Structure 1
Amino acid sequence: MKLISIVISMYNEESGIAFFSNNLIKELERIKNYNFEILWINDGSLDNTQLNIEKSCSAGKENVKHVFIQFSRNFGHEAAMLAGIDNSCGEAVICMDADGQHPPAEINEMLKAYEEEHEIVLMQRTDREDHGLIKSSMSKMFYTIINKLSVVKFQENASDFFLISQKIAELLKQDFRDSNRFLRGFIQEVGFNKKVLEYTAPKREFGESNYSFFKLMKMAFNVVFAFSNKPLRIVILISISFFLFTIAFGGYSLVQYFIADSIPSGYTSIIFFISLSFSLMFLVLTILSIYFEKTIKEIKRRPIYIVRKIEIQD
């Protein structure tokens, strides 16, 4: 039977991890003709997440193997998913979160799409039961902005709940080792046969979301600077526009001095000119500094994550 790897990212999920794992294993037992390995990635949790998941998975199931991977500290959700993919052995890999908002009941449909020779199966969130108008608007704005700036056009509301074939997993293991990561973007960038399935994200029953407004903003910046050079082109356009403005302003001053035989009133114009100059200059420096920072991180090639412990339970 085919082996399917399921990667679960966990961070401070002690209150709901047992409930989620029980639901997941029940769903996997219903799916015949497959063996499963579940890679539980503890992303430096500060609570009893590790203890609770090991207790919950202590009873072995015939077609399910558990792999527990603990990080030395918190490296982030993207690093946790990548660690699971790196250690996966299955013919296909499914990534999902442990917060209960990626329904295990959808796994069977994902596998059907995979058997139809789709090497990438994206799960598109059509509704979220605990999302209000503000969060929904923020999500829509996020995808609008990055699709305007990025070369890669992302599937709107595609989540970190997805399936990839072993071929895609090997690409992520070997080639996509960026320090500035966006996995759901990487898997849409590589091409191959893709299918999009829709699902409704249930309300989070346990714990609180680890994604604050500022974390979402940080992720948006990471995506833009990882997949687009348009900010650099915008800087060039700003520089050209400012150069033309400077020439026009200088020409006007010369005309007033030599032809109109009058000195233009200078205080307001000079203050405006200096303020605009410094504002644009600092904008240019900010954009260049962000690209420079990202480049330095890539050059350093520091580890994406550090594993403290790996345990395998058959």
Structure 2
Amino acid sequence: MKHVQVLCPVFREDEVILEFHARLRAALEPLRDRYLFSFIYAMDPSPDRTEEVLQGLSERDPEVQVLVMSRRFGHQAALIAGIEVCDCDALVMLDSDGQHPPELIPTLLAQWESGAQIVQTLRKDGGETGLLKRSASAAFYRIISRIGSIELQGGAADYRLLDREVVTVLREQFGERNFFLRGLVAWVGYRVAFVEFEPRKRMSGTSNYRASILINFAIQGISSFSKVPLRLCTITGLVIAAGSVLAATLMVGSYLMGTATAPGWASLLAFVAFLGGVQLFFMGVFGEYLGQVFDEVKARPRYLISRRHGEAVPVAARKKELQQ
């Protein structure tokens, strides 16, 4: 029997986490004759009862393990923590708010059994997602695919299956502090299959992803996989410099020909203000890349686990028990 672990990041889900877990187990129940399942809930400390609920769940269900971070490190750090503690033949990761349907997991496993080492889901947003958010998301995927060193499929979600080999590579060969997991999964290659899905309505509450978080997420993704913004700064600087030389040449020619006119202060001030804005923008671009380097040089841990509830599933013993 193959061991499949399901990794779910959690934050402020005390009202729905038990319902989600029941739904998750129900989706996997028909597959238990072929797979051994266990569950990892990686959570940021929540101001509600999420940890208390998950602790009780781990005490009742020996297949559940809970990782509690020392502070809020974010969604990506929770996924990384799960990747680094898992021990399985395949790892499935999905959000615990109900938008990623657990009922799709059998399809992911079928693709895995057919030879895919990465089964990546593609989110197909409908009318439940605002037009602005859909447009911004589509623009991000187009931009990063055109200027980045990866081909990131539109709608790629953090709902995927990873084979043991891919998990080992991500765990042992990547030490980046600014971890853009969607990009890294696309970058490593291997045999990939894609499965489309329509997101479900959240089981409760609203998304914890504010606009500022999504913007930062996009900037981090682009700066992690593309140098094009830096090159655009260089090209723009050269174009402005060439334009300035041309303008100076024309003014000198006009003076020598006796057709020079009095300079306009308004146009001069506008041009100076334009150059100042361009310079500040370029400094911001440089700052983003320098910030990435700064984080890597400090080499701080990407996350810290403060508490654990439940024990890791003794896979070998469970397999032997089931076979008997």
SS of corresponding position for 1:97: coil
Spell out, residue by residue over 1:270-305, the C-alpha distance to the aligned partner (whole angstroms, 9 max, x if none). Answer: 223322221221122111111111111111111100
- Native 8 Å contact 1:70 1:308 kept in 2: yes
What's the counterpart of residue 115 of structure 2? 117
What's the counterpart of residue 275 of structure 1? 273
Alignment of 1:1-16 (within 5 A): 1-16=1-16
Spell out, residue by residue over 1:41-96, the C-alpha distance to the aligned partner (whole angstroms, 9 max, x if none). Answer: 11122211111123334433xxx722111100000000000000100000111111
Structure 2 residues not aligned, in runs of 5+: 314-324
What's the counterpart of residue 287 of structure 1? 285
Of the three residues 185, 193, 197, the one matched with 1:187 is 185
What's the counterpart of residue 49 of structure 2? 48
Alignment of 1:1-314 (within 5 A): 1-31=1-31, 32-60=33-61, 65-128=63-126, 130-260=128-258, 262=260, 264-313=262-311
Paired letter, 1:312: G
Name whichever of 77-86 and 49-58 sits farther off: 49-58
Instruction: Number of aligned residue pairs: give it.
Output: 311
Paired letter, 2:40: L
Name whichever of 38-47 and 122-131 sits farther off: 122-131
Task: Please report the RMSD computed on the Cα atoms of aligned residues, expressed in angstroms.
Answer: 1.7
- Native 8 Å contact 1:253 1:264 kept in 2: no
TM-score normalised over the length of structure 1: 0.94
SS of corresponding position for 1:13: coil
Name whichever of 226-235 and 176-185 sits farther off: 176-185
- Native 8 Å contact 1:119 1:194 kept in 2: yes
- Aligned equivalents of 1:90 and 1:267: distance in 2? 70
Name whichever of 45-54 and 192-201 sits farther off: 45-54
Determine which structure has the larger strand proportion and give its number.
1
SS of corresponding position for 1:127: coil
- Native 8 Å contact 1:2 1:91 kept in 2: yes
SS of corresponding position for 2:9: strand
1:170 deviates by: 1.1
Paired letter, 2:265: Y
- Aligned equivalents of 1:154 and 1:297: distance in 2? 24
- Aligned equivalents of 1:88 and 1:262: distance in 2? 75
- Native 8 Å contact 1:256 1:262 kept in 2: yes
- Native 8 Å contact 2:55 2:309 kept in 1: no
1:29 deviates by: 2.1
Structure 1 residues not aligned, in runs of 5+: none
- Aligned equivalents of 2:58 and 2:260: distance in 1? 87
SS of corresponding position for 1:239: helix
- Aligned equivalents of 2:92 and 2:38: distance in 1? 10
1:255 deviates by: 1.4
1:250 deviates by: 1.3
- Native 8 Å contact 1:129 1:201 kept in 2: no
Paired letter, 2:271: F
Paired letter, 1:200: E
- Native 8 Å contact 1:146 1:224 kept in 2: yes
